[in-house]
Structure 1
């Protein structure tokens, strides 16, 4: 029976199956591996919390500054919204706050796809194979079961003079819903060649 990790008696460890195993029955190398992994994960959680606190403080400082700057012109629009780029006086450092929207399709995307398929079928032999390939690529479903919004929207850039096709493009636009937003903080440092290089906070890039 799996054992709760909150009730592990001294001298025991819980294996991957959730069973209690006495330390005396575990190889020394396995004990050491367990200690190494858990220590690194423990340290990582501390760093994760520090980064979260840093981001929250940085975003708050940016919002406060944006509001303060706006007051100079008698404007009050709330500094927490929108994309912002700030630069140090010497131009060496630049930071960007970017707000990205999470866009998803509602059920109307199926109607749009049906109209597009009907257009291609109606065009029959006259349909451009390239357009067919673009449509199939745009409506590919990811492993997570999602359709890429940007790929589908790319179909709207095709110059096709067909009433049904244009109606399908309108249906695509109408089917987009905003499910939420994410706020990103990016920091840059100017290099000797004048280009800005991002100061990475991604552990895999350090």
Structure 2
């Protein structure tokens, strides 16, 4: 019986000297049966993905080194002066002497909402039902967006917080706002590191963006 020799490389599986390509169902398709444009697309995607994996690993190492460097500086500062840099939430800014480069660390709270939110929704619905038709339509729209009624159980946090800023004196509305505040629980935090530079201290800051969707073409 003839031995089966299998070699795999860049999407090509060679069986006894004959090249095959895997399709999306896991089947081996003879390479000569695959259209030229599909082969080119496969090759292009694999090339880009190779660079993407390397870049992702490089960014991960960069972030780790950045956090370590800033942590070492913070520890040195605390040891020397007995004080920590930054505010109560952990936000902090580091800047060069010439005022032209800075690194900002921003801490964003991760929050969830408790069952009090359902009470708030009921009270808000009562208010809206009693308002005359056409009255405060913008508030009705905001409430709809905040509680995202098309997707059960989901809410829009930014619109929900907008409700808290509205100046409405109805007692039920005020109770609803208290319920919203009481429903908020901080479950953790996420740290963001951002980088900025400028040519002179009089110029506007320019962000050094590490985000493919926001990077400007050179």
1:78-119: CA deviation from partner (whole Å, max 9, x where unpaired) = 9xx711111011111111111112223233212211111112
List, as ranges, runs of 4+ consecutive aligned residues in structure 1 with deviation greater than 4 Å: 123-127, 141-145
In the TM superposition, residue 144 of structure 1 has moved relative to its aligned partner by 10
Aligned alpha-carbon RMSD (Å): 3.0
Distance 2:140 2:152 in 1: 24
TM-score scaled by structure 2?
A: 0.79
In the TM superposition, residue 142 of structure 1 has moved relative to its aligned partner by 7.8
Distance 1:162 1:86 in 2: 46
SS across alignment from 1:203: coil
1:149 alignment partner in structure 2: 157
Comparing 47-56 with 64-73, greater Cα deviation is found at 64-73
| Alignment partner of 1:65 is 2:73 | yes
Q: 1:37 to 1:22 in 2, by over 3 A?
A: same
Q: Tell me which of 200, 204, 209 is aligned to 1:200.
A: 209
SS across alignment from 2:81: coil
In the TM superposition, residue 201 of structure 1 has moved relative to its aligned partner by 1.4
| Alignment partner of 1:163 is 2:177 | no
Q: How many residues end up aligned between the 2 structures?
A: 200
Comparing 82-91 with 99-108, greater Cα deviation is found at 99-108
Structure 1 runs not aligned, ≥5 long: none
In the TM superposition, residue 143 of structure 1 has moved relative to its aligned partner by 7.0
| Greater fraction of residues in helix | 1
Q: Is the 8 A contact 2:85 2:92 kept in 1?
A: no
Distance 1:197 1:82 in 2: 23
